[in-house]
Amino acid sequence: MRRIMVGVKRVVDYNVRVRVKPDNTGVITEGVKMSINPFDEIALEQALRIKEQGLADEVLAVSIGPSDTQQQLRTALAMGADRAILVQTDAAMAPLSLARIFQKIAEAEQPFLTLLGKQAIDDDNGQTAQMLAALLDRPQATSCSKIDIADGKATVTREVDSGLETLEVDLPAVLSVDLRLNEPRYVKLPDIMKAKKKPLDVKSVADYGVTEGAAFRTVKVDPPPSRQKGIIVKDVAELVGVLKQKGLV
């Protein structure tokens, strides 16, 4: 079966203003709207489009996180994914641990294409896709803004500092996607109802032989400093004087 595997992460919705906990141990998530990481949603949309072109038979959505992540996987199923796997854990997993879990699933499922977002908007690591490709010893391309599949190869376009870069990689491959790749579809109510009947398997980290727990410890989380009020100067001479005081000129 021609299968595409897509990584899906549960994050605070990008429209929500993030607030730091009073004890500075993290950000407040209780009662906050959670959604699929925007980059992952774009990866899923691309997988669905490839399937609709007749180039794939199944789209598998995979997520690693707490039990509530089933909500985001059900959304992925409502968008059009055929089935989902949740590797349930309450631990904050490091990118390498995540990549190792994806590796085990990929070895079992044998997808010809693995799509992930280029980064998650909560930690901005942007490392899992690259690590996964290395563990699987498969070709990779990152930050893809265009993907074409044909003749056992993926032709991708990447936006780089000097313009656009086009790469061709053999399949199976691991690709991470950028925001300009596509616009994810809107999920309709009938699709949400159908998604409830689609298979969603719940696994544990131990099922894949990976040690549960983070490779790092968050010491403290602080909100960004408050923006200082501007000042009004009388003339250019006073402006230059203020800039000199601040060491800017």
The owner of tokens 């089935």 is: 83
Q: Domain tally for the chain? A: 1
User: CA-based angle 194:197:198, to the nearest 5?
Assistant: 95
Sign of the C-alpha dihedral computed for residues 39, 44, 50 and 55 taken in this order: positive
Which residue from 208, 23, 1 is spatially nearest to 112, judged by alpha carbons? 1
CATH number, domain containing residue 188: 3.40.50.620
Q: What whole-number distance in Å separates Cα of residue 223 and Cα of residue 20? A: 6
Predicted pLDDT at 213: 63
CB atoms within 10 A of CB 154: 22
User: What per-residue confidence (pLDDT) applies to 106?
Assistant: 97
Q: What is the radius of gyration, based on Cα positions, of the chain?
A: 21
| Residue ranges making up the domain that contains 229 | 3-245
So what's the pLDDT on residue 214? 63
The closest of 99, 176, 96, 109 to 136, measured between CA atoms, is: 99
**pTM for this predicted structure:** 0.85
The angle formed by the CA atoms of residues 238, 244 and 246, to the nearest 5 degrees, is 110
Task: Per residue of the chain (249 residues), give pLDDT as tens.
Answer: 899 999 999 998 888 888 888 888 888 878 888 899 999 999 999 999 999 999 999 999 999 999 999 999 999 999 999 999 999 998 888 899 999 999 999 999 999 999 999 999 888 888 999 999 999 999 999 999 999 999 999 999 998 888 899 999 999 999 999 999 999 999 989 999 999 999 999 999 989 988 776 667 788 888 888 887 888 888 998 899 888 888 887
